[in-house]
Amino acid sequence: MNIQKLYAEAQELSTPKLRDDIVQNLYDHSHKLCHEGISYTKSKRDTRTEKLDAVFTSPIFGFPIMITMLGVLFYLTIAGANIPSSMIAEFFGFLEGYITSFFTFLHAPDWLHGILVLGLYRGTTWVISVMLPPMAIFFPTFALLENYGYLPRVAFNMDRLFKRVGAHGKQSLTMAMGFGCNAAAVISTRIIESPRERMLAILTNNFVPCNGRWGTLIVLASLFMAANFTGGVASLITTGVVVGIVLFGIVVTFFVSWVLSKTALKGVPTHYTLELPPYRKPKIFDTVIRSSLTKSWSVLVRAVKVAAPAAILTWVFANIYIGDTSILMYAVEFLDPFGKMLGLDGYIMMAFILGLPANEIVLPILLMGYLSTGSLTEVDSMVDLKKIFVDHGWTWLTALNMMLFSLLHYPCGTTLINIYKETKSKKWTFLAFMIPTVIAILVPLIITQTVRYFGLV
């Protein structure tokens, strides 16, 4: 009987509620000591912080406000990046004409022009034109929220959900970093002290879409999900679809974290005590300049370094023929049955495989395959782009499956390298590759087979 009583008490001591009570008692005791030894009057700033926290961290209003903030952030990024992206792409296209003329003047061989201009130049300039405007908007806006003091409130709100799935509340901060770059998010998991919970964050980091995947998500949402709308309404529809995709990625993060915490990474989540800082007026000029010049530039340089060799490799595969068929087309024909089963096709699967070094080049590689030009291709308008997709059998289901596959599939090459550096383990790096890959296959497969069963396409 005594043994049973001791066991029951031990079980009670291990409950999360008891840990919360201990932390709360420590905080209350510290507050009491400070109150007895320090005299101060509450300022208007303190009162304002408490009133704002009552709203931003509210169980009722906290999450709707978070989703609204996310939507506004994406809307600004989507609506504001379209025109600058087109202008940059036109500028690089203008320069390409002069570069081609220079190669012609030098009587350079076609293969050299193909590798350096049609492969390297077009691949890297596509990445710059697609990535730079969204980053120049997203990073400063995100930094302003951080500077204002809102992000710690996000971590506070998300802590409750992460605890339920066996993870750590600080993972929400690493997820936020992942919106800019998953490779940087892997490094940011160092803020999580527990090795088990840090590994959970690393393995699920990829389910947050990075900047390299935004181009694909935004373009496909605009072409197929917002096809019947124009102007600001189209931007709103596109934003809603992208936010929905992001929220789905977060749900997958919770699910995978819960499964891993019950299997390969069993354990009790450590307590997360966060003292919320006061709200402060953002230093707008300093924050915007720092985010634009440092974060945007560093991510862009990384993307170009990785995309350049991939662009050259793509051109080589598309221009080396065995008989009458290029190596690229052999791979496409081999992958086509598997791709069709997922509601995709061989071209899409090949684009994702060659896009392993950088997610930014998946779309241009796909266009290159569809147009059979043997070079990374740019199109003149969104209308032309949609016509290319529709001519190759695309429907709304194809677009949805490609967005989901882009969201869920394996991390890019740089992220995988960072995972290995942080974990020092081939096993965990392999799992970080396989877990999202399996999920990226299963989700489109289930959706495609369900839609076909009910005859919706």
Using one digit for the tens of pLDDT, what is the confidence trace for 396-411? 999 999 999 999 999 9
Say if CB 217 and CB 245 are below 8 A apart: yes
Residues (pLDDT < 70) of the chain are: 1-20, 23, 39-46, 127, 130-131, 229-232, 268-275, 287-288, 290-300, 302-304, 306-307, 372-382
- Residue 129 · residue 92 · CB < 8 Å: yes
Pairwise CA distance, residues 344 & 402, whole Å: 7
For residue 407, the model assigns a pLDDT of 94
By CB atoms closer than 10 A (0-12, 13-18, 19+), residue 11 is exposed
- The DSSP annotation for 104-136 comes to HHTT--HHHHIIIIIIIIHHHHHHHHHHHHHHH
**Can you say how many angstroms the Cα of residue 145 is from the centroid of all Cα atoms in its chain?**
18
* Alpha carbon distances (Å) from 12 to 7, 15, 165, 195, 352: 9, 6, 20, 25, 50
35 vs 25: CA distance, rounded Å = 15
CA-based radius of gyration for the chain: 25
At residue 254, the pLDDT reads 92
pLDDT at 199 (0 to 100): 92
Return the pLDDT at 303. Answer: 63
**What's the rounded Cα separation, in Å, for the pair 126 and 351?**
15
Contact, 401 vs 344, CB < 8 A? Answer: yes
Find how far residue 278's CA is from the centre of its chain.
Answer: 29
250-to-17, 123, 176, 238, 400 alpha-carbon distances in Å = 26, 31, 11, 19, 17
Q: Of all helices (H) and strands (E), which one includes residue 195? A: helix 195-204
Residues 6+ away with beta carbon under 8 Å from 41: none
Write down the pLDDT at residue 433.
Answer: 95
Would the pTM of this model clear 0.75, i.e. be above it?
yes
Closest CA to 187 of 172, 176, 202, 200: 202
∠ CA 95-300-79, nearest 5°, is 80
Smallest Cα–Cα separation from 240: which of 217, 258, 257? Answer: 217
State which H helix or E strand residue 325 sits in. Answer: strand 325-326
Q: Which pLDDT score, from 0 to 100, does residue 62 have?
A: 84
Q: What 8-state DSSP symbol labels residue 393? A: T
Q: Are strands 321-322 and 325-326 parallel, antiparallel or unpaired?
A: antiparallel
How far is residue 135's CA from residue 202's CA, in Å, rounded to a whole number? 23
Residue found by looking up tokens 């940087």 in the block? 184
Helix axes 151-164, 44-56, angle to 10 degrees: 40
User: If you search the block for the tokens 């704002």, which residue do you land on?
Assistant: 52
The position carrying tokens 């066996």 is: 166
Separation between Cα atoms, residue 364 and residue 340, nearest integer Å:
20
Residues ≥6 apart with Cβ < 8 Å to 116: 103
